[in-house]
């Protein structure tokens, strides 16, 4: 073998080892996160009792955000996912908060919101999964209606596989 052939085989060998590590390491490595509530979380105000004076005035309509919640379920094959999902209102937008969350780790996991009957990749990406264990927050784009996009999907782009799903239901309006 000449030197260039050995060099090519070496480069290919290193590339194969790197790809194998990327694909296999999530099976035995975990990433734990523990995010608090979004820093600008707005506390839900306690309604005050109305007086007769206040009822004679016409109050301005305030836009109300829909609160949603759900529970994660396992994905396809042997991918296990557990935890709860709830929406959290903050000054900078609405967040989906995963609590007591745990899923099988994978090499290329992302969080998506989908409508009923919609393919995962056609949904709205909320970004890569921050960790396969722990509490975490994901900002929902302002133009997304959580009554329409009612499924959260943990999606592995590398294998086109669903690691877990959570159906969102309206808790109050």
pLDDT higher than 70, residue 25: no
pLDDT tens for 5-22 read 888 888 999 998 888 776
How far apart, in whole angstroms, are the C-alpha atoms of residue 39 and residue 88? Answer: 11
Exposure on the CB side of residue 9, measured as CA atoms within 13 A: 6
Mean predicted lDDT score pLDDT of the chain:
84
pTM score > 0.85 for this model? Answer: no
Q: How confident is the model at residue 65 (pLDDT cuts 50, 70, 90)?
A: low
Confidence (pLDDT) at 51: 44
Q: How far is CA 117 from the centre of its chain?
A: 19
d(CA 56, CA 11): 80
Residue 53 dihedral angles phi and psi, to the nearest 5°: -60, -45
């Amino acid at each position: 073998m000449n030197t260039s052939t050995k060099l090519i085989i070496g480069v290919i060998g290193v590339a194969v080892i790197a790809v194998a590590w990327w694909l296999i390491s999530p099976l035995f490595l975990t990433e734990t996160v523990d995010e608090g509530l979004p820093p600008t979380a707005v506390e839900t105000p306690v309604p005050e009792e109305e007086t007769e004076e206040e009822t004679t005035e016409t109050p301005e309509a305030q836009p109300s955000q829909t609160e949603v919640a759900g529970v994660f379920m396992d994905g396809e094959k042997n991918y296990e996912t557990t935890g709860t999902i709830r929406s959290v209102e903050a000054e900078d937008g609405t967040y989906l908060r995963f609590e007591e969350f745990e899923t099988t780790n994978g090499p290329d996991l992302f969080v998506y919101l989908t409508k009923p009957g919609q393919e995962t990749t056609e949904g709205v990406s909320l970004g890569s999964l921050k960790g396969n264990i722990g509490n975490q927050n994901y900002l929902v784009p302002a133009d997304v209606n959580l009554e329409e996009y009612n499924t959260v999907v943990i999606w592995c782009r590398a294998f086109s596989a669903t690691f877990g799903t959570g159906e969102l239901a309206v808790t109050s309006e």
